[in-house]
Amino acid sequence: MGTPVEAERPPKSGFPPTAAFFDLDKTLIARSSTLAFGRSFYRYGLLSRTDMMRGALAQFRYRLSGADHRQMEKLRAQACAACRGWPADRVTEIVSRYLPDLILPYVYAEARVLLGEHRSAGQDVIIVSTSGQEVVAPIGALLGAESVIATRMRIANGHYTGDMECYAYGEEKAVQVRRLAAERGYSLPSCYAYSDSITDLPLLEAVGNPRVVNPDRALRRTATVRGWPVLSFSTADRRSAQPVGMEGP
């Protein structure tokens, strides 16, 4: 995997703080965090059988080749339509109940090590994902992230309206990263970013230390041309799935 983090050089007093920004799906985990909960939402009556069939097809395509811009826009429209009217507290309950089984077993082993290296180097770990805040925030807590940037759905009277307040995708990821950096004083030329998808090129270009993980073809070509490090993560050992920081000796 190489040595992507300079752990021997922790931040010194007076130096601007730095952060490592991680995409989530296929970068930290080996599946789509949004589609992972489809069966659970169906079981609790939030998704129809048609929605489930669409989700299964999307998951299959995602595993084969990831998701391009057209597919992401299609998933966005489907998600907005499907969640309209959902009670927000029920979604939170379902995510909390099934998160350990549906997400933790899919965390890449190499990603766990990398997260620890960045924290040991005194750098904040931030997850930047197109998936919803209600899914990404608890995943971030389990993985030891300081905070997350994620898509936010509008909620009114305790129910989803089907509209988005923030779609954390493409250029918007970079916009949100720069906003957070300005708020916290991060030195972006010293920060890191990790992603698998060419759609995250704006995020990678926003920092001084871009890294690509299991990249799609377009991102691999870009990384080769620009001399960016390419990391290869394998599927995590599902037998040892547990929150970051809870590993045994």
Q: Which helix (H) or strand (E) holds 54?
A: helix 49-65
Specify whether 23 is catalytic. Answer: yes
Residue corresponding to tokens 């691999």: 220
How far is 30 from 27, CA to CA, in rounded Å?
Answer: 7
Which residues are CB-neighbours of 117 under 8 A, at least 6 positions away? 4, 5, 7
What Cα–Cα distance (Å) separates residue 127 from each residue in 5, 71, 95, 157, 216? 17, 22, 17, 28, 19
State the greatest distance between any 2 C-alpha atoms of the chain, in Å, as a whole number: 57
Instruction: Determine which one of 25, 51, 196, 216 is catalytic.
Output: 25
Radius of gyration, CA atoms only, the chain: 18
Specify whether 163 is catalytic. Answer: no
Residue 154 phi, psi (nearest 5): -75, 135
> Which of 116, 104, 111, 103 lies closest to 37 in space, CA to CA?
103
User: What residues act catalytically?
Assistant: 23, 25
